[in-house]
Amino acid sequence: MKTLKTEQGIKITVRSIEDFTDNAKIVEFGSYHYSSGDYVEGFQVDMVVEATLEDGTSESFNVSCQSSDTSDKLRSYRSTEMRFAKLYGAIWDKSGELEEFVDYQDWDEIVKFLIGLAEDLCQKWYSTNKVEATND
């Protein structure tokens, strides 16, 4: 289990984390992108997150992250950049409800923690599959 204790005393505990790679692939940026190199597309991470406020009130949330969508030609800063899936219309991602539950306190710190976990898994998958792709 991974745990974060924020400056405001909010405790975020990741009870489970699972990655989904069925649709994941490594894609090269085209000449129409502002970035160059390659990136991961179609990678997803689902987490069960328990948030406990300083007063002891606790609630669980299903949070989902997906690979950043670069089809709009936006700059991508990392090959394994992730975003909350709600940004892409995923109704099962309850990160918005988590944000409301913590009353927006320390939200930037919580986002950095959760997205960081998802990006670590994506980076691990990218590193393994990039090596396999170059050996083929």
pLDDT at 20: 92
pLDDT at 69: 64
Angle at 110 between CA 74 and CA 25, to 5 degrees: 40
Beta strands in 30-104 (DSSP E): 38-41, 44-52, 58-67, 82-84
Determine the number of helices (DSSP H) and then strands (DSSP E) in the chain.
2, 7
Domain holding 24, by residue range, is 2-135
pLDDT in tens, 88-119: 888 899 999 999 999 988 999 999 999 999 99
pLDDT at 88: 81
How many domains, in total, are found in the chain?
Answer: 1
Which residues are 12's β-sheet partners? Answer: 4, 51
pLDDT in tens, 3-62: 999 999 999 999 999 999 998 988 776 555 555 567 788 899 999 999 999 999 999 999
Tokens for 6?
């924020």
pLDDT at 81: 79
Contact 26, 126 (CB under 8 A): yes
